[in-house]
Structure 1
């Protein structure tokens, strides 16, 4: 029996590519437990060492699934703008932020303003029920509405073997639903493109966004964030036979793809010596990061600039691509919420506090080993939380 639900209507202003993906999965169709559901105990945590027998073949099936997106990706505009307003604001902020995030191994969360030194700091965890949590619990039907991705392998993707949403981010959403409702399946998933993450929260189309979203100084002016639940960095992905060696001179004359309103676009828009123009490269933007992989496979771009956490999963799907160079930033992922929902922020931070507990057997480490360890090796613990109160 399937539990939970997905709602394609949450993809406000979605492109043909996103719409095609939702149609394939069944708009407003039942969602719920992913293929790993049987590995979870009553508290929603993984039982150590267990994996479903069909997990390995998901990689091959997902590669085939990418081919279905080719036509849609070709139809997608080079620069996505849903009526021009919300996404433009986010893009402008990204460009301003990018000036502080272009040096290798630099903390991508820094900003010149003294008012924003540590954007990853959040509110201390409390199991409280304020206006936001009460609104969510009193909604009919009583379910959490979460904005997620359905195209990021290992993070938030539609498992072709089951048709269900699955991944590290999806498991975290279920843990939040478990804490609020006592039911990890009390979730409506709404798939949203990268550029619509902030507008969806501001318009209250969703309660939370769990979609590999980087916490930075520009975004905390528009939405609230939990403490960091993962740390990634921007890095280049190229074909195995590419002459591109790093984010630098070897990009001259090359086409570099990134998602609209992403941190990667901010890096490429930098006005200094490390922006696309200074490097002699051409920026290509698409609504969703997976569209970049499709264009790379078709030879329409020469490189993809994206979070290395996402790129590692894509390289696992497609052995013809690889990561090159070093991470350009250090970027903490956070759960995003409406700025006014301070009680929800504290409640989510309580979930994350519990998620980190238990050392190597914590729910976080179990989820990491299950979803990410094969492609992102060497992580021994979750990011430590930072609080501002």
Structure 2
């Protein structure tokens, strides 16, 4: 599957040493959460063609175009939204699973003053949803969750939704419901600049590759070895709870490469100038907001918010992209903006 290579502006934060310190701080903070409050506006997206190559063959037989399998937009309240609105006092907040370690997506800026509030493209989207549903963009309780806990957190009712660079795919649609997509990306390889790895090809033979547990990246590599697209000698057993942990392992020389969404990889390359993207994106996939399967009214409401946010030319999707992602993905957002949404799910 062909995809245009994501453009990354490799702007450092001070090299490996500084990044390792930031990672250590992030690990400590993760143990202290859940947390609350931040500031921002919103981001959104829409649907379009394409399916991640890493989706399991079984699921591919059962569904196609997973990014289109969502409900049509509606601004009406329903039982899920009413339950959120009926929370009393300090508990009257939208509870959202997010990342706090992904630079420019959901992260605590160590250079900010005061409380080091969560910032980023995903965090903007959360505030936009809270503003629409509860009338207050800051009526949010953030819960930092690792990659492999995104679906359990939704199913167990620990969060109302997850906004955490979460790819829509057929396997996940059996467990959660998704909004229309709000961002387009694809899997890419991240490796040291000095490495002779060239991308998703034979240069990964006999190399240790790191991915996050439960991520699209891991399922893509697993399927790639079954299909013969990835050398059988590539070691894909190096998985971690959080994707940022892969960057730390790469910095420590414990793995040779990282595979993750190109949008995240570009941000990590901006954090550490000793690494870079290798080769073009080799899948096409989309991020969506994940919710409980039976939360139909919430899914419809989020889809309406996404439609409206895309139309907001002064403080909407494009403004959030310009603020957070243009430095790492380039000033032209066309490669990251999904096409117009389609709503094929009827109930």
> What TM-score do the two structures reach when normalised by structure 1?
0.73
Equivalent residue number for residue 224 of structure 1: 177
Contact 1:155 / 1:167 at 8 angstroms: preserved in 2? yes
Among 257, 281, 288, the residue aligned to 2:242: 288
**How far has the Cα of 1:161 moved from its partner?**
2.4
Unaligned 5+ segments in structure 2 are 1-23, 44-50
1:257-268 equivalence runs, <5 A: 257-268=210-221
**How far has the Cα of 1:316 moved from its partner?**
0.7
Partners of 1:347 and 1:195 in 2: how far apart? 26
Equivalent residue number for residue 287 of structure 2: 333
The yes-or-no answer on 1:274 pairing with 2:274 is no
Give the secondary-structure state (helix, strand or coil) at the position aligned to 1:285: strand
The yes-or-no answer on 1:324 pairing with 2:303 is no
**How far has the Cα of 1:19 moved from its partner?**
5.2
**How far has the Cα of 1:28 moved from its partner?**
5.0
Cα distance change of structure 1 residues 334 and 30 upon mapping to structure 2, 3 Å threshold: closer
Give the secondary-structure state (helix, strand or coil) at the position aligned to 2:104: coil
**How far has the Cα of 1:274 moved from its partner?**
2.4
| Matched positions, count | 304
Give the secondary-structure state (helix, strand or coil) at the position aligned to 1:349: helix
Contact 1:179 / 1:351 at 8 angstroms: preserved in 2? yes
Contact 1:45 / 1:363 at 8 angstroms: preserved in 2? yes
1:307-386 equivalence runs, <5 A: 307-358=261-312, 361=314, 363-377=316-330, 378-380=332-334, 382-383=337-338, 384-386=340-342
Contact 1:109 / 1:216 at 8 angstroms: preserved in 2? no
Give the secondary-structure state (helix, strand or coil) at the position aligned to 2:66: coil
Give the secondary-structure state (helix, strand or coil) at the position aligned to 2:133: helix
Equivalent residue number for residue 119 of structure 1: 66
Unaligned 5+ segments in structure 1 are 1-15, 38-43, 47-97, 103-107
Partners of 2:106 and 2:222 in 1: how far apart? 27
The yes-or-no answer on 1:303 pairing with 2:257 is yes
Contact 2:34 / 2:144 at 8 angstroms: preserved in 1? no
> What TM-score do the two structures reach when normalised by structure 2?
0.82
Partners of 1:149 and 1:138 in 2: how far apart? 27
Partners of 2:237 and 2:243 in 1: how far apart? 14
* 1:217-276 deviation line (CA, Å, top 9, x unaligned): 111111000000001100000001001011111111211000001011112222221246
Larger RCO, structures 1/2 (Cα 8 Å, 6+ apart): 2
Partners of 1:358 and 1:379 in 2: how far apart? 15
The yes-or-no answer on 1:32 pairing with 2:44 is no
